[in-house]
Structures are given as C-alpha cells and as structure tokens.
C-alpha cells in the first residue's frame, strides 16, 4: 500500500498544533492542542491493522514481539539522538547551577531514562515520553487481539472498547487530557486514552472498506467537502473554542474525536477532492516519509527545547514561541539525518550479533 500523503501532511500540521499548545500553556493564549494527540493515536491504530492485514495477506503472520521491534525501530534511533542532545544540555544546566559534576551526571541520566519508554507503566519520568510508551503498549495489545480474533475484534470489539474506555475516562475526570492522572488509582489515563483512540483507528479501517462500496453522484466532491469541514472545525475549536464547565468539556472532547474519526475515514479511503489535489504534486509524495518522521521529531524536540527555555530563557511568550519553533525545526532536521546513521549502526550490530541461518 502506497503512503497516504494527505495523512503525512496532516501529521505535520497537528504536530505544530501540539508545539503551540505546550508553548502557550498557562498563558492567556492557551489552546486545546492536547486533542491533536488523539489524531496521532487514531492514525496509529489504523496503521497497526493495515500492517497486520498486509502481513497476513502475504502469508507472513508475525508475532507481537517481532512487530513491536519493527515499530520501535521506526522511531528509536531518532529518539536516542534527541534524548542524548538534551541530556547534555540538561546536565550542563545542572552543572552551571551547582558547579558539581555529579549533578551533571544525575541530570543527564534523568533525561536518558526517556529511551526506556516505560512511563505508562509507572516507572521513570511521566512527561514527554508518555505518548510513545502508550503507543508501544497499545500497539502490542491491539496486535495480539488482531492475531487472536481478527475481524471480530476490528468490526465489533474495537468500537465497543473505544466507547467503554472513554466512559471510564470521563467518569474519572472531565477531559481526556492530563495523561499521567491515574484512573481509579489503577492505570494511567494516557494509556486508556491511547488504547481508546487506537481502537477507533482500527474500526476506521473497517469503515474505509465499507465506504468504498458506496457510490453516488459527485461522491469525491461531497466527501472532500465533509473532510475539509471536519478538519477545519477541529482546528478552529482547538484554537478558539474552550468550554469551561465539566459537561461542556466532555462533549467538546467527544465531538473533536468524532470529527477526526469521520475525516480520517474519508482521508484513508482516498475518495475525495483533497486526495485528487494532493496527487497533482509529485514532490509531496517524494517528501512523504520526511513529513511523517518530521512530525514525530518536532514533537520530541520542541518539548526538550521548551524545558531548556524554562531554565535559561527570558519570560517572553512571543520570543519563546519563535525560538522554540525555529530550534525545533533545526533540531528535527539534524535528528532525522543523525537518526538514519544510528539506525544503520543498530541494524549492523544486530546483524553481527545474530548469525545468519543460511
């Protein structure tokens, strides 16, 4: 299956939404950018079942461990570079404040713990890495359920699980944000949120197959308009509409997720004028992978840069937004190229460690 360029463009767009959400957090310009993360979870759920069906159709049903290892390698090299760079910066800040080298090592190691991807299990830090750790855990769960139940899970269980988990989340709190909050003191909400939205992405895969069988006059125009309206509504609401009462926030979050789901079903089906428009520009297709990886790198690097700015930068929100965005883009570019070399090194080390069975 060819890459969906529209999704990759949207990944970058929503990555910038997350950047400004964190930059503006706690200010009068604060936006509800946390909902952009649910876009990434829904897309990831769709990608999991798409990969599963592709492997199955090829007669190569791989296990959970092998799939997770493949998933991990898609971002671990880039994560390693980003974490190492910020670990050095964080250690330097600690040394500058104390003049003690042991504080440099302690602070640097604290940042290096991000590489272990286990924050949703309650270990190490609970900040930036919650999304990636939740993604890996939920991917493993969904892959196992697909191998065990296949279409029964994707068609029936996935939407039911989504609804049940969202009910649990909203029963415990007023919004799907605050990922490190413990639900009933048992499990972190970020993990349930990830599983709910990824199950919705799995169900979106089935809806795409169903929608492709429906034909009507000017369907590409109609679906394209619906697709554009859904995405624009989500973006406008994230930027400008912020309900304050508990009921309003629950309805708001649900509506944004539903709109993202409807829009993504149309986007993945490639049956709209948006798809036709994007296909006209071949250079976008050639940059599809860079857009997809770049969105993740932007997410990684901006959070580290914000953390450094909070310790060293002046109290100027306009300047902070400008500097964070520019530095995040530069770091993402460096991270992308460095990550490719790190990946080659990891693959070479694995190849040398595991002898060929020829």
Residues 355 and 301: their CA atoms lie apart, in Å, by 36
One digit per residue, pLDDT tens: the chain, 358 residues?
467 899 999 999 999 999 999 999 888 888 999 999 999 999 999 999 999 999 999 988 899 999 999 999 989 999 999 889 889 988 988 888 888 999 899 989 888 888 888 888 877 765 678 999 999 999 999 999 999 999 999 999 999 999 999 999 999 988 898 898 999 888 999 999 999 999 999 999 999 999 888 888 899 999 999 999 999 999 999 999 999 898 999 999 999 999 999 999 999 999 999 999 998 888 888 888 888 889 999 998 898 888 788 877 888 888 999 999 999 999 999 999 999 899 889 888 877 776 654 4
Q: How far is CA 184 from the centre of its chain?
A: 25
Residues 234 and 258: their CA atoms lie apart, in Å, by 10
- Hunting for tokens 């979050």 — which residue is that? 253
Structure confidence at residue 358 (pLDDT): 44
How many other CB atoms are there within 10 angstroms of residue 325's CB atom?
17
How many other CB atoms are there within 10 angstroms of residue 123's CB atom?
12
């Amino acid at each position: 299956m060819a890459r969906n360029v529209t999704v990759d463009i949207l990944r970058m767009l929503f990555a910038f939404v997350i950047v400004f959400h964190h930059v503006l957090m706690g200010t009068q310009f604060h936006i509800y950018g946390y909902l952009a993360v649910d876009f990434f979870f829904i897309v990831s759920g769709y990608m999991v079942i798409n990969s599963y069906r592709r492997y199955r159709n090829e007669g190569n049903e791989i296990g959970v461990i092998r799939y997770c290892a493949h998933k991990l390698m898609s971002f671990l090299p880039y994560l390693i570079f980003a974490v190492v760079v910020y670990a050095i910066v964080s250690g330097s800040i600690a040394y500058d404040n104390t003049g003690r080298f042991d504080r440099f090592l302690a602070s640097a190691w604290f940042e290096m713990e991000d590489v272990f991807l286990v924050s949703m299990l309650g270990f190490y830090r609970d900040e930036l890495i919650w999304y990636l750790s939740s993604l890996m855990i939920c991917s493993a769960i969904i892959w196992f359920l697909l191998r065990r139940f296949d279409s029964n899970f994707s068609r029936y269980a996935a939407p039911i699980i989504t609804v049940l988990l969202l009910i649990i989340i909203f029963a415990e709190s007023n919004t799907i944000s605050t990922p490190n909050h413990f639900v009933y003191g048992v499990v972190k909400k970020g993990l349930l949120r990830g599983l709910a939205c990824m199950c919705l992405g799995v169900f979106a895969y089935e809806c795409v197959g169903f929608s492709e069988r429906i034909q009507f006059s000017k369907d590409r125009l109609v679906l394209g308009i619906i697709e554009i309206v859904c995405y624009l509504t989500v973006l406008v609401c994230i930027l400008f509409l912020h309900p304050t009462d508990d009921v309003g926030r629950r309805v708001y979050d649900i509506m944004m997720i539903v709109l993202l789901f409807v829009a993504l079903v149309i986007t993945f089906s490639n049956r709209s004028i948006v798809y036709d428009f994007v296909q006209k520009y071949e250079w976008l297709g050639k940059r599809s992978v860079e857009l997809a990886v770049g969105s993740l790198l932007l997410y990684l690097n901006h959070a580290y840069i914000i953390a450094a700015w909070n310790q060293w930068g002046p109290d100027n929100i306009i300047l902070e937004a400008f500097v964070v965005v520019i530095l995040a883009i530069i770091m993402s570019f460096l991270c992308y190229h460095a990550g490719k070399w790190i990946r080659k090194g990891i693959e070479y080390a694995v190849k040398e460690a595991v002898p060929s069975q020829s």
